[in-house]
Amino acid sequence: MATSEPFTGKDAYSQHFVARDYLQTYYASAPDETDRDGLLAFSLRSLHAAFRRRGLQGDTLIDIGSGPTIYQYLSACEYFREIVATDYTDQNREEMQRWLKKEPGAFDWSPVVKYVCELEGNREEWTQKEEKVRRAVKQVLKCDVTEPNPLAPLSLPPADCVLSTLCLEGACKDLPTFCSALKNISSLLRSGGHLVLLAILEETFYMVGQRRFSCLYLDQKSVEEAVKEAGFDIEWLEGIQYSSPQISHDAKGVCVLVARKH
């Protein structure tokens, strides 16, 4: 059952979310085959499968709630000509820009990039993969998933794909807000376009440095029902359960799905 964790609002993210602490906690160690059920390894394998096996492709992909990370683009950049990254906080967008622009002190994503290249059968081409991601990401914009147009005041042409990883469960205080956020991001997608959603299951908090951030407690059934209610047909879903407790969060599992907009 879910426990009552005080909801972390927008202001707290703007003031207290330290992008580099988040990266060091969750992305500093390279995934390996001994940790196939770890969050990062599962996310990378699932996104690889989602884009490759499901035949997702097109001109534009909008990533909602990118955070300071680029791992979610490593497979997507092979299938979409342009990627639009978005996040609510200035510090996350700035951290991503440091890597995109190859600035001194940018986070080292090379172990993660090599892992995905190995999934694709070309581990030695990881530097080319990094450059491909940098070329693909055309914009880094502010977004707010609780707004009817999450990218307001901007209005972009409808995208072929909307991607969201580990965002909505942190931004939404309850299930109705989660359902509403899915409808909001659906407005950015063309009819027949695809949603790729990676969601944490049965989590109430996660740590960034010494600070706790709340997470909306979701089970897989709730995620599926919310996606359908938002006007999507689920075409593929995969999930795992964690067998051992974690120090940095209390998640019990994670799922990824591909859904088509009506």
Is the pTM above the cut of 0.85?
Answer: yes
1 or 246: which leads in pLDDT: 246
Backbone torsion region of residue 162, taken as left when φ is above 0, otherwise alpha when ψ lies between -120 and 50, otherwise beta = beta
Do the beta carbons of residue 160 and residue 104 sit within 8 Å?
A: no
Q: What is the mean pLDDT of residues 91-119?
A: 96
Helix 90-100, helix 19-26: angle, nearest 10: 70
* pLDDT surpasses 90 at 72: yes
When mean pLDDT is compared across 23-27, 108-112, 123-127, 179-183, the lowest value belongs to 123-127
45/258 Cα distance (integer angstroms): 14
Mean pLDDT of 248-258: 95
3-state class (DSSP) for residue 249: strand
Nearest alpha-carbon partner for 47 in 163, 179, 138: 163
Q: What is the mean pLDDT of the chain?
A: 94
